[in-house]
Amino acid sequence: MKYLQYLAAVLAVAPSVLAAPKPERDGNPYLGVQPYANKGYAAKLEETIKYFNKEKDYLNAARTRSVQKIPTFGWVSNSAAVPDIKGLIDEALAAQKRTRQKQLVQIVVYNLPDRDCSAKASDGEFHLSDDGLNKYKGFIDGYYQFFFHGHATISDPFVTLGVAAQLSTKDAKKLQFSLILEPDSLGNLVTNLNVEKCANAADAYREGTSYAIAKLQQDNIALYLDAAHGGWLGWNDNLAPSAKVFAEVLEGAKAINPSAKVRGLAINVSNYNQYIAPVREDYTEWSNSWDEWHYVNSLTPHLEEAGYPAHFIVDQGRSGKAGIRTEWGQWCNIKNAGFGTRPTADQKVLNNTNVDAIVWVKPGGESDGTSDETAVRFDAMCRSPVAHVPAPEAGDWFNDYVVNLVKNAEPALRPSLF
């Protein structure tokens, strides 16, 4: 069997998982815990393993098994996904009991009304024209019924708790949580108010995000607002306005809940910028934030001046390869991308005390957007010269793409038989 050709190498290494260091805690939620590798993502990767085995590429099949063990975020991007939080909690509790390590469950909350206002690929379920802001508030802290209308109570059948209620259960309190709120939202308030949809959604973005912060306050929950990436908000003229927006949204949360707080910001979510780029790309020439490490350093003093916590987590899930784009604005299913630096909270890797951790936020293999020009959510960037075509709708599994992420991973993935 081909497996025997590398069996010795496989057995010589442990599976690639984040082992958080245990120095004294400083409020960093990634220290002294084990981020949970969710089973939902691992199950999707079975298709990739099956593909590699069919191709007799047993090494990359084993590398994909290692990816199954790497902690990634679960996404709650519509009302139907809210019950999945309980599944994540149940799975993480089982892992915590089995390993005797405190588990950190990582979740993205992504459902603002008229979301993704400057693009089309990820338009969501709530719209301002249909009472979207109030529906979003119910999604955060209310409960709703799928099969009947009228007054409901939590004990009624077919009732689903909102995000805040799911995270307030007895079982949830036994875990730690890291939540990212609303990717691709507040950044639009800094740079894209010339887009009519963004201008119309600006107040709802602010109010909705403040409301989510206020309602998701638990001692075991660390909140990070999305701060786009260095190629978007890292330009000198955007830094102070960005910090001001984040601080204002936090103040809006405190007006609802005076004890409201956040841990910091999440950057490079679903993007391809490297944390520390090996070379400077030509299109970054005029920016001091030419990789995400430099973006942290550029934004930090402005956050401190605005009174917003300058702590960051950095998505490197698909940032393994340099030289795969010709401009920062290319964001959809970039060809030749690879899995990036593994999640870690080790300062020997981070080399920046404002960074809490490198994480994998975007599940590698879920499409950024469809390349079908006839689709309602088609965005031209998904047929750009550097986009992988054909591609399915945003969020759908894109196995051809994850095959390349495995092959192009940097550093290369270690193989695992189990």
Residues identified as active-site? 116, 184
C-alpha to C-alpha distance for 16 and 341, rounded to whole angstroms: 11
Beta bridge pairs of residue 314? 267, 358
Residue 34: C-alpha distances to residues 217, 223, 311, 344, 406 (Å):
21, 17, 19, 10, 23
What's the alpha-carbon Rg for the chain, to the nearest Å? 21
- Which residues, in sequence order, are CB contacts of 144 under 8 Å at separation 6+? 79, 138, 152, 159, 160, 162
What one-character DSSP code corresponds to residue 175? S
C-alpha to C-alpha distance for 5 and 393, rounded to whole angstroms: 39
For 265-282, give one letter per residue: b (16+ CB within 10 A) or e: bbbbbbbbbbbebeeebe
Residue 140: C-alpha distances to residues 82, 133, 148, 164, 216 (Å):
9, 11, 20, 6, 8
H/E segment holding residue 35: strand 34-35
How many C-beta neighbours within 10 Å does residue 231 have?
Answer: 26
Contact 108, 183 (CB under 8 A): yes
Q: Coil, strand, or helix at residue 366?
A: strand
Q: Coil, strand, or helix at residue 315?
A: strand
Beta bridge pairs of residue 223? 179
Pick the closest to residue 392 from 133, 147, 143, 121 (CA basis): 121
Q: Helix crossing, 196-215 with 132-141: angle to 10°?
A: 20
